[in-house]
Amino acid sequence: MVLFWLNLAPWLSLAGIALLGLALAPMFPSLIALTPARMGPAHAANTIGFQIAAACLGGAVLVSSFGLMADRFGLELLGPFLVGVATLLAVVFEILERSTGRQSGAAPTERPS
C-alpha cells in the first residue's frame, strides 16, 4: 500500500498494487476453508453463508464509500483510504480474537462433536 500511496513512479505503484493483491488473495478462501474447523461441522454451512454475505456487503460498502469520498476529495485519497481500512480490519480482528480467548496466530483447535 505504501508503494502505491507514495506514487514515486508508475511502475512502483503497479508493483505495490500487485504485491497487495498477492498478499490478500489467499485470505478469503483460507477463511472459508478453516470455518468448519473453527465452528464445527454443524454450523459450518450457515457460517460460510454469513461470511459470503458479509464479503459481498463489505465489498459494496467499501467501494461505494471510496467512490463518494474520491468524488469529493480526489483519487489521491486511495492510499490513505486503503491504509485506514487495513488498520481498521487489523483492530477488529484483534478485538474478536481476544473476545474468544484465542491468542493471535494460534492454530485453531478441533472442537469435539
Render pLDDT for 45-94 as a digit per residue (tens, 0 to 9).
999 999 999 989 988 999 999 999 999 999 888 888 888 888 998 898 89
Render pLDDT for 85-99 as a digit per residue (tens, 0 to 9).
889 988 988 998 888
In whole angstroms, how far apart are CA 35 and each of 18, 24, 25, 54, 110? 27, 18, 17, 14, 11
